[in-house]
Amino acid sequence: MNTIGIIGAMEEEVAILKEKMSEVTVLEKAGMEFFKGILGGQQVVIVRSGIGKVNAGICTQILADVFQVNAVINTGIAGSLKAEINIGDIVLSTDTMQHDVDAREFGYEIGQVPRMDTRTFPADDRLRETALQVCRKVNPEIQVFEGRVASGDQFVADKETKEKIIANTQAYCTEMEGAAIGQAAYLNGIPYLVIRAISDKADDSAHMDYPAFEKEAIRHTVNLVENMMKAL
């Protein structure tokens, strides 16, 4: 049976999914609790990675090494980088990149880790197609987009930073883990997908919108991820 790793950075992003699991066993490693069990008829390992790229990369490597997962899904919330992507809408990653990697001094483009052969990490088409179909069915009241996800160790909450990230990445949304999960999945040859619901617009209103809309955004991703497990 295939095993799917499901990563959320924050407890709020995975708590409801964990409640819906059965046959649960727990393993602790690197300060993270890995919940192995069944969700929607699918064998899964659900884990809160902690916030930021380093935590997310470590978490993905543990899913690869210890649980030998066949796919990784990253679920959570993000700031919108496009006017038409509203709070509550969902973005499915076509690929991910790090907006805060900068070795231009050596001729690399923004996002490219020196001496790596790519600056973007393509997500899995089959996972994305499944997520798209399921999302349209279970979350009909919101829009679902497919596009690039830009990650960095930064909560983006001002217009200048937002515009810079858009210019450098052409991404649809920004968050703090997706590209680290993408990079780890790429290095391990594991299919992955980032699923993010928009909690704010990554601008000067972000600090107000984020707490207000976090819960609603998470409801949409939880609904999607649970039903996606039934469809895989």
**Is the CB of 129 or the CB of 204 nearer to ligand ADE?**
204
* Under rule CB under 6 A, residue 199 binds ligand ADE: yes
Decide if residue 178 touches ligand ADE (CB under 6 A): no
If one counts every other C-beta atom within 10 angstroms of the C-beta of residue 75, the result is 25
CB of 83 to ligand ADE, least distance (A): 15
To the nearest whole angstrom, how small is the minimum distance from the Cβ of residue 158 to ligand ADE? 10
Q: Least separation, in Å, of the C-beta of 169 and ligand ADE? A: 13
Our answer to whether residue 13 is catalytic in this structure is yes
Q: How many residues bind ligand ADE (CB under 6 A)?
A: 14
221 binds ligand ADE (CB under 6 A): no
Candidates 78, 165, 193, 228: give the one binding ligand ADE (CB under 6 A).
Answer: 78
195, 225 Cβ separation under 8 angstroms: yes
For ligand ADE, the closer CB: 156 or 190: 156
How is 9-77 classified by DSSP, letter by letter?
Answer: SSHHHHHHHHHT-EEEEEEEETTEEEEEEEETTEEEEEEE--SSHHHHHHHHHHHHHTT--SEEEEEEE
The yes-or-no answer on residue 200 being catalytic is: yes
What character string, x for contact with ligand ADE (CB under 6 A) and - otherwise, covers 112-151? ----------------------------------------
User: Does 165 interact with ligand ADE (rule: CB under 6 A)?
Assistant: no
CB 147 within 8 A of CB 194: no
Residue 7 sits in the site that holds ligand ADE (CB under 6 A): no
Q: Which of 64, 71, 72, 77 binds ligand ADE (CB under 6 A)?
A: 77
Identify which of residues 36 and 162 has a Cβ nearer to ligand ADE in the complex: 162
Interface residues with ligand ADE (CB under 6 A) are 77-79, 155-157, 174-176, 199-200, 202, 206, 210
Active centre residues (catalytic): 13, 200
